[in-house]
A and B are shown apart, each in its own frame.
Chain A
Amino acid sequence: MDNIVKASPTKEFFVNMLVRDILLKQAIIELIDNSIDGARGTRKNNQYLGLKISIEFNNNKFVIEDNCGGIPLDVAANYAFRFGRPKTIQSGDTETTGIFGIGMKRALFKMGNYFSIHSTTRTTEFQLDLDVKEWLKKDDNDWDFSFTSYGENMNNPGELIGTRIEVTDLNMEIAAELNSEEFEKEVIEHIQRRVGLDIAYGIAIIVNDKTLVGNNIYLIDNEEIKPIKEEYEDGEIEVKILSGIAPREGKNYPPEKAGWYIYCNGRLVVAADKTSLTTWKDMENRSSGNVFHYNYAGFRGIVHFNSKYPEKLPWNTTKTGLDETSLVYLRAREKMFEIFKIVKNLLDEIRKNTESKDDGIEETIAQMRGTEMTMQNVNKIKENRALIKKNVSVTTIPYVGISYKKPKVEVEELKKVLGVKTSKEVGEKTFEYYKDAEC
């Protein structure tokens, strides 16, 4: 016997196992990420106007098509389809989201058994078709794919540049999901949140003919209420932490939107977190932070980690969460804790103030408008640690509640006289009457 203990991976591991770690909507985002990385490579300074990513799906096929630069032939041949990122690959000078060498393949395997990729750059072009079942049948040592066709040294016109990926022979449960209206709605919302910043930069994302709008966070940012902001460099990573109060939406602050939002290279990886992953107290960790309750529904925190070395960012391989043991993240979290205290204390104070002697501050803040936290606006905000109630000058008429009890018979009598149905209305009407008559 040779002294060899087999440890090499099998194809089935990639095709059947790793796909279990992501949801379909996350797989779709992976493919969008690839297109956006293409956009980052071709357009500097995030000027994405004119770039487009179209997605179409039904129970027979899934297609994603973009005009974001295309995949160069050598990249396709040497890196793009490798399982895992080769050690030799150099980081570029852009802040990309592609890094682990797993995203695109995992997304495609998740969806179906046949995929065809066509990509055109200014000088190259290729077509790659893969029947996954056939590929699995091949020797376990033969992992490589083959181009169906390719061309080099070309001079392709601008309108042809881009990538088209089509997946057919869909997995049964995927076909059912892609065919449902609820899924379409869910995936649209997911994309609008996760790559909302890129949509704000001008890239058009269209899903089944519906043009998406970025769903970004809004924070109140005016002379009186300024977000708390701290920025610093942690090795090769730029970190920006912001926190403040969201503008009220209609009559309330939707609690589901409250919490921390964490971005890595512009891609939202954690949304509205209210757990001990960030600064909240929960079942997992009761030793620090606060338990979330409705009073904190206006709380928003934003953290941006940006780096030209995406492998150093604290995200997990599915980009749906954080590597909680990452020192970069833990260092940021210690700062988030203190920033959280500032905003939380202000929210507590506002509430206390409203309950004891409403001077209108809560309502004044509720009527303030928010600013969309695009990268541009985030960069405009100056570093700040002060957030105090004193700075808010009341612009609304403060309201106070009055409560008293009167004999039921008498209140019922007044209901009839005043033509109202509730005791509350009796209170209001009698107050208004007295004020009109006597003041």
Chain B
Amino acid sequence: MPGSDQKINYQVRPAKSIERKMLCDLIREIQLIRVDGEMRYIGLGAKYFTDFLLFHNEFGITDMISIEAEKERQIRYDFNKPLKCIQMWYGTTNEVLPQIDGFNEKMNLIWLDYDDTFEDTMLIDVETICRNLDIGSMFFLSCNYSFRGEKPSEKMVSFKNSVGDYFDEKIEKNEYKSKNMPFIIKKLIDNQIHKTIKMRNRIDQSLIEYLQLLFLTYKDGAPMMTIGGILVDEVLKGKLKNSGLFGKYLFMSCDEHIFSIDIPKLTNKEIQLILKNIPVTEEEFLKHEQKFYGIGYDEICKFEKIYRYYPYYSEGFFNT
């Protein structure tokens, strides 16, 4: 039964923290495969710049752009900006992204971590990004996937209102169920990516492809999803496919498979106990069930999936 413990972690958004660290693992691997160093990060730092600090610290990125829509409070954002190397660009992503150039100068990592529910403006950004991004560069998009309405028909109407002309008539009404929304959103994003890249390949006579790397859902209150990947050519695609990455990291996904960041509610004492005992098979668990003081096997499995990324609070969140 969900109780007050469900709410405690909301403040620190553990799922978001886990997601960020997963992304770090992923980027590190891609960097190793690409074997080149310099990188630019474009993100939505908000007031906390958590992702900026993490990527700066992890990868030494010094070319960073934070897009901030709230132009009226520039002073506040400039004050909170934790690193000199972060450039603030004020305006919506629709306004700012087309103004950024130099995409072919280095590897770009773009993470549009929107708080909002999925809408057409996000697809306009996807188009801009796919027109400009070079091979080897990555982009990710996070958004809320809950739409108003109880019934699928109601959800479909509110989805249609949000995406306007991008609405896909071919998606049947009964597909608009809460659980299905990430797939519908993914479909629209994929359509936009493929349409833009197809045109790029046609006019440049190139063979660029988009390779999905992530398809995550999580809940820090609102239901959120993250999707994104990398632009590849034949060579890079081969390297990535042969790298065994998709087997190594269970959170990665190149298809319709969703990795759900599902955090079991555990106390620190329980966590310590699990850490000392994993990996544990169901058989072993059942044999020594009393050793786990009522913690369920499903909770152990869920925790095992994310334990490397779990925000153990000793980490401290005071670096901003």
Q: Which residues of chain B are within 8 angstroms of A382 by Cβ–Cβ distance? A: none
A-facing mask of B108-141, CB < 8 A → 1, else 0?
A: 0000000000000000100110011000000000
Q: Which of B91, B131, B203 interacts with A330 by CB under 8 Å?
A: B203
Interface check A424, CB cutoff 8 A: no
**Bound form: Cα–Cα A338–B91 in Å:** 15
Nearest to A343 among chain B residues (CB) is B98
Interface of A, helix, strand, loop or mixed by DSSP = helix
Q: Which residues of chain B are within 8 angstroms of A334 by Cβ–Cβ distance? A: 131, 199-200, 203
Q: Which residues of chain B are within 8 angstroms of A339 by Cβ–Cβ distance? A: 98
**Bound form: Cα–Cα A386–B97 in Å:** 11
Interface of B, helix, strand, loop or mixed by DSSP = helix
Interface bracket on A: 20 to 34
Interface residues in B173-214 (C-beta closer than 8 Å to A): 195, 199-200, 202-205
Q: Which residues of chain B are within 8 angstroms of A288 by Cβ–Cβ distance? A: 127
A-facing mask of B161-173, CB < 8 A → 1, else 0?
A: 0000110000000
A341→B94 contact, CB < 8 A: yes
B90→A390 contact, CB < 8 A: yes
**Bound form: Cα–Cα A288–B191 in Å:** 12
Interface check B101, CB cutoff 8 A: yes
Interface size on B, residues (CB 8 A): 24
B94→A345 contact, CB < 8 A: yes
Q: Which residues of chain B are within 8 angstroms of A345 by Cβ–Cβ distance? A: 91-92, 94-95, 98
Q: Which residues of chain B are within 8 angstroms of A327 by Cβ–Cβ distance? A: 202-203, 205
Q: Which of A281, A287, A385 interacts with B99 by CB under 8 Å?
A: A385
Interface check A381, CB cutoff 8 A: no
B-facing mask of A384-396, CB < 8 A → 1, else 0?
A: 0111101000000
Nearest to B100 among chain A residues (CB) is A385
Nearest to A342 among chain B residues (CB) is B98
Q: Which residues of chain B are within 8 angstroms of A387 by Cβ–Cβ distance? A: 99
Interface check B71, CB cutoff 8 A: yes
A286→B165 contact, CB < 8 A: yes
Nearest to B125 among chain A residues (CB) is A341
Q: Which of B90, B98, B200, B202 interacts with A385 by CB under 8 Å?
A: B98
**Bound form: Cα–Cα A386–B202 in Å:** 28
Given A286-B165, A334-B199, A334-B200, check contact A341 B131 (CB 8 Å): no
B→A interface (CB under 8 Å)? 71, 90-92, 94-95, 98-101, 124, 127-128, 131-132, 165-166, 195, 199-200, 202-205
> Can you name 13 A-B pairs with beta carbons within 8 Å?
A327-B203, A334-B131, A334-B199, A341-B98, A341-B128, A342-B99, A345-B91, A345-B95, A385-B98, A387-B99, A388-B91, A388-B95, A390-B90
The 3 closest A-B pairs by CB, nearest first: A345-B95, A338-B98, A341-B98
